[in-house]
Amino acid sequence: MLISRKQALQNEVFASFIGTRQKRFDPREDPYMTTPGNYFDWEQDKERYYDQIEIDSIIKQELDEFLERKDNVTIKKYEYFGELKYNLKFKDIFIHSIEIGKILEQLSDELNAELIFILDYDVPWLSQENDYKPVVKASNYLREIGTSEEFSGAFKLSGYKLAEFASNLFWIIRCNASLPYCWFSTDNHQFVGDICQYGNIHLHTYSNEIKNKSESFAKANSLIEINECIEAFSTDGGIDGRQIVLNE
């Protein structure tokens, strides 16, 4: 089911996490340009001089965009009980993509709650083009379930629909490097999870109860706890199909 960003962020732990993540887009936080001088111009692909008027104009434009895109949430501080990282250890990437969907379906069943997936900035899910065949298939799947080119909301799913969604999401996260990070949680559990570009499952826990429950779930489903993420599906460490291409 497609839902709005406001509907997705009713869980205060989830909302606080996303709101904190969005601060990295705020131009008032560690601004690149503040005073006249030479700075790199990405459009011209060279360093050039910026005067104060141009700098103020750029900062205003960036701030206006940030204030328009950021979610209107109250950021609260919660005790952090640590991050858990798990690997499925499938060597075949296509099998891995299917199995990660099944694992998240089982997690949803264990929690007796639908999982909610949202990008941590108000950017359309289909805002990046990618001609890599698995990504084309995954993007078409999003369109088939009702995702428009402008949709930047969230997805709330359980059961086989969740498994199918997560299996397709794996390719979009892995290959569409221009998109913001994608995170998942539920309406009321004190954790935030994600699938990283390497196909591992990360769980950030905000209660001892959910941490213990996550660890028990991982053990029961033969997930392997890891300390760091590495690329396991290529011999050179690169990720086939990973691109940075924005739609016009």
Return the bridge partners of 142, or none.
Answer: none
pLDDT, residue 235, reads 75
Q: Average pLDDT of 38-60?
A: 94
Return d(Cα 138, Cα 144) in angstroms, integer.
10
The mean predicted confidence, pLDDT, of the chain is 94
Which of 79, 98, 60, 93 has its CA nearest to residue 204?
Answer: 79
User: Residue 246: which pLDDT band, with cuts at 50, 70 and 90?
Assistant: low
pTM score, two decimals?
0.92
Q: Average pLDDT of 66-82?
A: 96
Q: Domain limits of the chain?
A: 27-69, 79-225
pLDDT, residue 244, reads 82
- CA gyration radius, the chain: 19
Which contacts of 232-238 are long-range, i.e. CB under 8 A and separated by 24 or more positions? 232/87, 232/91, 232/198, 232/199, 233/91, 233/93, 233/96, 233/199
Residue 207 has pLDDT above 90, yes or no: yes
User: Residue 88: which pLDDT band, with cuts at 50, 70 and 90?
Assistant: very high
pLDDT in tens, 161-195: 999 999 999 999 999 999 999 999 999 999 999 99
Tokens of 115: 């999982």
Q: Average pLDDT of 18-30?
A: 93
